[in-house]
Amino acid sequence: MPRHPLAEFQALPYPILDVRAPIEFAQGHVPGALNLPLFTDEERARIGTTYKQVSQEKAVHLGLEFFGPKMSTMVKQAKKLAPGKEVRLHCWRGGMRSGAVLWLLELAGFKVHLLDKGYKDYRRAVLASFEQPRQWRVLGGLTGSGKTDVLHALAAEPHGQPVLDLEGLAHHKGSAFGAIGQPAQPTQEQFENNLAAALAVLPADAPVWVEDESRQIGRLTIPPALFAQLRAAPRWVLEVPRAARVAKLAAEYGAENPAELAGAIERLHKRLGGLATQQALAAIEAGDFTQMVELVLDYYDKTYTYGLAQRPNEPACTFVSVADCDPVQNAVFLQQTPGPLAPK
Listed residue (344, 303, 332, 289) closest to 154, CA to CA = 332
Grouping H, G, I as helix, E, B as strand and the rest as coil, residue 86 is strand
The helix (H) or strand (E) run that includes residue 222 is none
The end-to-end CA distance of the chain, in Å, is 59
CA atoms lying within 13 Å on the CB side of residue 143: 25
Orientation of helix 188-200 relative to helix 118-129, angle to 10°: 70
Please report, for residues 122, 144, 238, 246, 313, the alpha-carbon distance to residue 317 in angstroms, rounded to integers and kept in the order given: 37, 19, 10, 24, 11
Selected catalytic residue, list 33, 91, 166, 220: 91
DSSP string, 138-188: EEEESTTS-HHHHHHHHHSTTT---EE-HHHHHT--SSTTTTTTSPPPPPH
Instruction: Output the CA torsion 274→142→161→13 (10° steps).
Output: -10
Query: Is 325 one of the catalytic residues?
Result: no
Pairing of strands 16-18, 34-35: parallel
77 vs 97: CA distance, rounded Å: 16
Pairing of strands 163-164, 220-221: unpaired
Listed residue (186, 239, 253) closest to 25, CA to CA = 186
Q: Which residues are identified as catalytic?
A: 91
